[in-house]
Amino acid sequence: MIRYISALILLGITAFFLANNFFTATKNSLASLVSLRPLSEPELIKQGNRSGLSVSVYSSFPLNHKHLIAINAGAANGVGVGMPVTLEGNILVGQVIEVSESQALVRTIFDKDWSLPVRIGPAEHDALLVGGQNPKLTLIDKDQDINSGDAVISAKKDLPYGLKIGEVTEVRDLVAQSFKEAGLLSPYNSKDLRKVVVLLK
């Protein structure tokens, strides 16, 4: 009898752990200490009619199949779902997908579930950026002249137009495929991200 009750209690505790994110904020804060990241308060930056929030990256998703980061600003600081997250205000890092009171989750361009319309080079050719360990530019028209080194900028409706994303690396033009594809070289390494800027408006 005692065995069954113990087993039930253990199952109850398991369900509590699986359904509750009670410790997540504390864990993220501790993770930032482990990686010697500054525990600074979010800082509001105003530039003309634009305003951004400079925040620290607390932690990153513990497994390899998702590329999410946690930042130390949340609803209390004016952060909302869908807001663009940048490096130095002009290089796109990702987009906020979840907000709590004091922290938020950001899906980066290295996440495989991420995709967004982009423009390539001075002629601003259309393409679709598909995220992943190695993000790639897809659906590039075969007639378009794309070269290695061309700049890639954002062209998504709910993001500011023209945020820099990276540069084109190798262009693949296979006969069997209807569109060209290209690799993307990001100007930063995701594991080195310490401070990012959330664009508030």
| Nearest distance in Å: CB 127, another protein | 20
Taking alpha carbons only, the member of 194, 159, 187 closest to residue 70 is 194
C-alpha distance across the termini of the chain, in Å:
61
Smaller CB separation from another protein, 70 or 182: 70
Which secondary-structure segment (H or E) carries 51?
A: strand 50-60
Smaller CB separation from another protein, 28 or 154: 28
Asked if residue 63 lies in contact with residue 111, where contact means CB atoms within 8 angstroms, the answer is no
Smaller CB separation from another protein, 12 or 162: 12
Smaller CB separation from another protein, 100 or 115: 100
Assigned token pair, 9: 């209690």
| Nearest distance in Å: CB 64, another protein | 6
> Which residues in this chain contact another protein in the complex, by CB under 8 A?
6, 10, 13-14, 17-19, 21, 23-24, 27-28, 30-32, 34-35, 59-66, 68, 70, 98, 100, 105, 110, 112, 132-133, 190-192
CA distance linking residue 35 with residue 163, whole number of Å = 28
